[in-house]
A and B are shown apart, each in its own frame.
Chain A
């Protein structure tokens, strides 16, 4: 099983462009989330979802949209990219899967650069 799969691994955008970071999990987890990781700032929660059709904002939601039409997928959309969105993005899912209840399983990350 793949666990949590993120694509793309690397992306360069110009200011104002839009794009979608994909996230898929095969563990039937109800909970999915997106974090961004910046030097010296740890992990900050962008958006999360506790099940299909349900999403909520995290700590830093501005400039990002999400949707959860299926249990497996949780894409993150950048509507109009800005240099401040240059970061490494991690998708994580959680539930009573292989790792046990309440444990997050992370994808390998997507490194985004906005010029």
Chain B
């Protein structure tokens, strides 16, 4: 079945540091890929998405590129802020099955 593997956390960075959170997936067909973010005490919300190979999703300074050859969708940001502290989830949508599969989440803490 479908699966998503995220780099294990927690990740602690200083403000303005470079962020990478690795995500790889296993799926049949051509899934859509997503990054969701969860702030403390809240539900998940969409951060960015990509629906086909080589697409780049971007939002709020975060970027991720859909790499079919390496089945990856790594999240990057050039300069993190304290307000980016949250849990980040990589996910895929198998459009044939209609279901989304999530990674375990990576907790990011940014210190001033």
Contacts and interface: CB of A to CB of B under 8 A. Distances in A.
A107 interface: yes
Interface of A: 4, 31, 33, 35, 40-43, 45, 48, 50, 58, 90, 92, 94, 99-100, 102-109
Interface of B: 32, 34, 36, 42-46, 49, 51, 89, 91, 93, 95, 98-105
B32 A42 contact: no
B103 A48 contact: no
18 contacts: A33-B99, A41-B104, A42-B89, A42-B102, A42-B103, A43-B89, A43-B105, A45-B101, A58-B99, A92-B44, A92-B100, A102-B51, A102-B93, A102-B95, A104-B44, A106-B43, A108-B43, A109-B42
Contacts of B32: 102
SS class of chain B's interface: helix, strand, loop or mixed? Answer: strand
Contact of B43 (A33, A94, A107): A107
SS class of chain A's interface: helix, strand, loop or mixed? Answer: strand
Given A90-B43, A107-B43, A42 B51 contact: no
Contacts of B44: 43, 90, 92, 104, 106
Contacts of B104: 40-42
Contacts of B34: 103-104
